[in-house]
Structure 1
Amino acid sequence: MSSGRTPTTGRRRAVGRSSAGDAPNRRNTELLMLGFAVLVPILAYANVGLAMDGSLPAGMLSYGLGLGALALVAHLAVRRFAPYADPLLLPLATLLNGLGLVMIWRLDKAGKLLIKNFPAAANQLMWSGIGLAVFIGVVWLLKDHRILQRYTYISMVVALVLLAAPAFFPSRKEDFGAKIWIRIGSFSVQPGEFAKIILTVFFAGFLMVKKDALALASRKFMGLYLPRGRDLGPIVVVWLLSILILVFETDLGSSFLFFGLFVVMLYVATERTSWIVFGLVMSLGGAAVVASTESHVKTRINAWLDPMAAFAPKPPPQSSEQIGQTLMSLGSGGTVGTGLGQGRSWLIQFAAKSDFILGSFGEELGLTGLMALFMVYGLVVQRGLRTALAARDPFGKLLAVGLSSAFALQVFVVAGGVTGLIPLTGMTMPFLAQGGSSVVANWALIAILLKISDTARRPAVEPAAAIPEPAGPERYGPGSGAPDQSRGASS
């Protein structure tokens, strides 16, 4: 006799279930913040026109529509290819890029810069569009950031080629001795801006494999655990590389950025404070040696030590007025600034739109405006570090930390040089300053951070629920070869 129950036809297959459909992806929040990020530069654009001409600028509508269209296309790409990415990184970058375009246009409109500082707003808008196109390409083509780990040592070779290439091209007189550009006719590119991203990929892949060996300590000295001698190799190589960059290309900013980036990532990977101490000692020692032998670096250090020397009755040779003019520009801005379009920052002349654009903002927006800008930069770094904390793989953690640190170090180097905290380095303020290479590279950096955050915030697939096996005759289906228990029951 059978038991009267319908036998099962085999074991049921359990299917994994994802909660991705129920988790918020915050894309609507990003769209709302993007509207605010586009509105602020449009209002700033109108403010400049009213202050300088007493009327709204003629290109205000086209500028607003162009910036809004670029931001919307970028948002749609993120919504499609990185739906769980951080919702603030894209609006923050758009806000900085838009404000930089407004200030460059304002300085163009002043018409009192050097003739060689051609009107640059249209050119910068074009490069911003190219940067957003690169951003969309990275978000679309980079399916998973962990793919970059396969190219660890290829990244090292590419980065070294990019860093060394400018040394083989002649520098112009207006470059003041720095060989950081590759110029072919009217086209120029600054490969160091892209090298910082590629080097970060190499550092992340290298340290993920070697972090355990680098974390070992041989002895303790003055409260610090000293690394083993054979483990000092990587940091010595990077230190020598940064010194070579400084000597052959007289690029103080890139040298500091790359070496500082490696030391920060090394500390994060090993959690050894001794690496920070070694890094500081080696960087200061190298800078002191080069400053005593390289005339270009020596000039910048002298200008930092005495920024007003150029205004003396008998100024020393090779003195620079720029730092002194920038400090006076910041001082005239005071707490709330002179107002957009009402400053005289064009007196800085050379590099007023690029290296010293922060001085222009400081004069017209004041200390309050500068603090707001630094807060926006700080939020970009904070969201990047938050992405690193949320990343589920060690390579993603190190890569996010490295990209965020490179961004933060560049902001610190530029702001420190403009305000007189450290010697001037000649680097550009991310997104704000004039420079095609800088804006394109920084949009690529934001795109990689968004892909890492998308992977980190994406809901994990829930494990398949195990279905318990029925006890008794229901466990076997017909034809399964199981013993016929009903025969024994009927007998």
Structure 2
Amino acid sequence: MATVAEVTVRTGRRSELGLLALATGVAVLSRGLVDYHADVLELGGLGAYALGWIAVSLVLHFAVRRWASFADPVLLPAVLALNGIGLAMIRRIDFAYADRGRDTSFGEVQIVWSLLGAALAVAVILLLRDYRLLRRFTYTAGVLGLVGLVLPLMPVIGTQINGARIWITVFGRSLQPAEFAKIAFVIFFAGYLVSNRDTLALAGPKVLGMRFPRPRDMGPLALVWVAAMMVQIYERDLGTSLLLFGIFVAMLYVATERLSWVIVGMGMFAAGAVLAGTLFSHVGSRYTAWLHALDPEVYRSGASEQLVRGLFGMASGGLFGTGWGEGRPDLVPYAESDFIVSSLGEELGLTGLMAILTLYVIIVQRAMRTAIGVRHGFGKLLAAGLGFAIALQVFIVVGGVTRVIPLTGLTTPFLAYGGSSMLANWVIVGLLLRISDQARRPEEVRA
């Protein structure tokens, strides 16, 4: 009589535990090196920090093991490694500011935001047992996204910082609602596109072998384009404008597999950006600072001073960096937030930056792998959209700091100082873990 061999289903949790140990080691070693070069290293304090990291890692690991046992085993360790490197760099910048007589506590505050973000990720895994429920709130998410974009324009709670009106003040704390709006828009885009992708993909005339959309099908793209232009013009926030529009175009391509949408979308954004730069002086000044950053007149006016200082800092770091504690990241304004990439480039060098960017590549690759593996159309678009959100944000930040594109006010996910960014990106991690759990779960286990 034939027998059926029992198949052992691997969840990947053991691999995740080993990678979490490696990520914890990276975080603790980074902190230790920063404290050592600042002459404040205490083994007792470092040991307590290590225990805290171990505790957080184990809580996250057991939460995933309990409520999302088939989730991607690589995603969480990569995020924790980035988070640990960011905490160490922000603490290093605190020491640099202290040497100049400026008392800051960015590192301590960022630890609190990191813990809250990790707790939010656990809450998403616990409360959202089936990501497909989010499709019911497609248009609600779209409305919430628009509200998040409009809030900074409100006269009472809206706040303008560094020339950009992208902040609101709540209970004495500044928050950037666009960070949460991008998640709401990804949910809205995924729900809308999964319902309308056949029309968007199959209809339209062919030009040079490519099928272009019909004018009446351009409505959604035109609406998102208008919203992106309004953000750029009235909130003076090129970064969020480009991020929002880029996510939508990328998701359009995933839904329709038509390159023509990308060509039309990028053409519309480029034309809108040039028009805005011509008609509005504050937009044009951003482009001038980008194109002529090294001109003496532009630099002396202060328009490109921050950008140039960041470039000089990365240049002094060279291939292997000055070493943690041996650079001068404090010479660059907002080194702990907008320009943390240049701070890391100075002290860790090009090699260190490439390692950090590789971690981002891993996160985005796992998101795309999840999108490929999930069987539900909404899940495919949602996972891809969340992955694109992280990829585009990193590109916009690194591109701005390295002068590939105009400088923006976005923060680097998991690295830079900022509560809104930390909380929102940890929510993205929670969503990706939930989607990947259902994508990797075998059929016999589903039943």
Above 0.5 in TM-score?
Answer: yes
Contact 1:40/1:95, CA 8 A, preserved across alignment = yes
Rounded to whole Å, the distance in 1 between the matches of 2:234 and 2:302 is 20
Contact 1:400/1:452, CA 8 A, preserved across alignment = yes
Residue 299 of structure 1 deviates from its aligned partner by: 2.2
Q: Are positions 1:70 and 2:56 aligned together?
A: yes
Q: Are positions 1:439 and 2:422 aligned together?
A: yes
TM-score, normalised on structure 2?
Answer: 0.94
- Which residue type is aligned with residue 316 of structure 2? S
Q: Are positions 1:389 and 2:372 aligned together?
A: yes
Paired residue for 1:107, among 93, 98, 113?
93
Paired residue for 2:396, among 413, 421, 425?
413
Cα 1:172–1:166 change in 2 (3 A) is closer
Rounded to whole Å, the distance in 1 between the matches of 2:167 and 2:185 is 18
Mapping of 1:141-180 within 5 angstroms?
Answer: 141-169=127-155, 175-180=161-166
Q: Are positions 1:423 and 2:406 aligned together?
A: yes
Residue 117 of structure 1 deviates from its aligned partner by: 7.6
Rounded to whole Å, the distance in 1 between the matches of 2:405 and 2:240 is 14
Cα 1:316–1:330 change in 2 (3 A) is closer
3-state SS of 1:341 partner = coil
Rounded to whole Å, the distance in 1 between the matches of 2:331 and 2:297 is 20
Partner of residue 46, structure 1: 32
Cα 1:273–1:73 change in 2 (3 A) is same
3-state SS of 1:304 partner = helix
Measured against aligned partners, the alpha-carbon deviations of 1:421-464 in whole angstroms (never above 9, x if no partner) come to: 10011100000000001011101101101111100111102899
3-state SS of 1:411 partner = helix
Paired residue for 1:380, among 356, 363, 366?
363
Cα 1:214–1:93 change in 2 (3 A) is same
Rounded to whole Å, the distance in 1 between the matches of 2:188 and 2:50 is 39
Residue 52 of structure 1 deviates from its aligned partner by: 2.4
Partner of residue 235, structure 1: 221
Of stretches 188-197 and 291-300 in structure 1, the one that deviates more from structure 2 is: 291-300
- Which residue type is aligned with residue 398 of structure 1? L
Residue 341 of structure 1 deviates from its aligned partner by: 1.1
Contact 2:370/2:439, CA 8 A, preserved across alignment = yes
Higher relative contact order (CA 8 A, sep 6+): 1
Measured against aligned partners, the alpha-carbon deviations of 1:241-271 in whole angstroms (never above 9, x if no partner) come to: 1111111111110100010100010011111
Rounded to whole Å, the distance in 2 between the matches of 1:249 and 1:242 is 10
Residue 67 of structure 1 deviates from its aligned partner by: 2.1
Mapping of 1:1-150 within 5 angstroms?
Answer: 22-53=8-39, 55-56=41-42, 59-112=45-98, 118-150=104-136
Rounded to whole Å, the distance in 1 between the matches of 2:135 and 2:268 is 29
Measured against aligned partners, the alpha-carbon deviations of 1:371-414 in whole angstroms (never above 9, x if no partner) come to: 00010000000000000000011110010000000110000000
Partner of residue 230, structure 2: 244
Paired residue for 1:461, among 430, 444, 447?
444
- Which residue type is aligned with residue 64 of structure 1? A
Cα 1:157–1:324 change in 2 (3 A) is same
Mapping of 1:184-195 within 5 angstroms?
Answer: 184=170, 186-195=172-181
Contact 2:34/2:91, CA 8 A, preserved across alignment = no
- Which residue type is aligned with residue 397 of structure 2? V
Contact 1:389/1:397, CA 8 A, preserved across alignment = yes
- Which residue type is aligned with residue 225 of structure 1? R
Partner of residue 5, structure 1: none
Contact 1:112/1:346, CA 8 A, preserved across alignment = no
Residue 60 of structure 1 deviates from its aligned partner by: 1.5
Cα 1:460–1:453 change in 2 (3 A) is same
Residue 227 of structure 1 deviates from its aligned partner by: 1.0
Contact 1:42/1:64, CA 8 A, preserved across alignment = yes
- Which residue type is aligned with residue 92 of structure 1? A
TM-score, normalised on structure 1?
Answer: 0.86
3-state SS of 1:433 partner = coil
Rounded to whole Å, the distance in 2 between the matches of 1:238 and 1:463 is 37
- Which residue type is aligned with residue 302 of structure 1? T
Rounded to whole Å, the distance in 1 between the matches of 2:420 and 2:66 is 27
Rounded to whole Å, the distance in 2 between the matches of 1:292 and 1:313 is 20
Contact 2:138/2:191, CA 8 A, preserved across alignment = yes
Q: Are positions 1:224 and 2:210 aligned together?
A: yes
Residue 297 of structure 1 deviates from its aligned partner by: 2.4
Cα 1:114–1:250 change in 2 (3 A) is farther
Q: Are positions 1:400 and 2:383 aligned together?
A: yes
Partner of residue 341, structure 1: 325
Measured against aligned partners, the alpha-carbon deviations of 1:39-74 in whole angstroms (never above 9, x if no partner) come to: 111111111222221745763222222222112111
Rounded to whole Å, the distance in 2 between the matches of 1:253 and 1:114 is 31
Cα 1:227–1:51 change in 2 (3 A) is same
Contact 1:108/1:121, CA 8 A, preserved across alignment = yes
Residue 320 of structure 1 deviates from its aligned partner by: 3.0
Q: Are positions 1:280 and 2:263 aligned together?
A: no
Residue 172 of structure 1 deviates from its aligned partner by: 5.5
Q: Are positions 1:308 and 2:294 aligned together?
A: yes
Of stretches 413-422 and 317-326 in structure 1, the one that deviates more from structure 2 is: 317-326
Rounded to whole Å, the distance in 1 between the matches of 2:442 and 2:373 is 12
- Which residue type is aligned with residue 83 of structure 1? S
Contact 2:159/2:166, CA 8 A, preserved across alignment = no
Residue 23 of structure 1 deviates from its aligned partner by: 0.3
Q: Are positions 1:293 and 2:276 aligned together?
A: no
- Which residue type is aligned with residue 8 of structure 2? D
- Which residue type is aligned with residue 381 of structure 1? V
Contact 1:178/1:251, CA 8 A, preserved across alignment = yes
- Which residue type is aligned with residue 16 of structure 2? E
Partner of residue 469, structure 1: none
- Which residue type is aligned with residue 418 of structure 1? V
Contact 1:171/1:177, CA 8 A, preserved across alignment = no
3-state SS of 1:188 partner = strand
- Which residue type is aligned with residue 35 of structure 1? A
Structure 2 unaligned runs (5+)?
none
Partner of residue 351, structure 2: 368
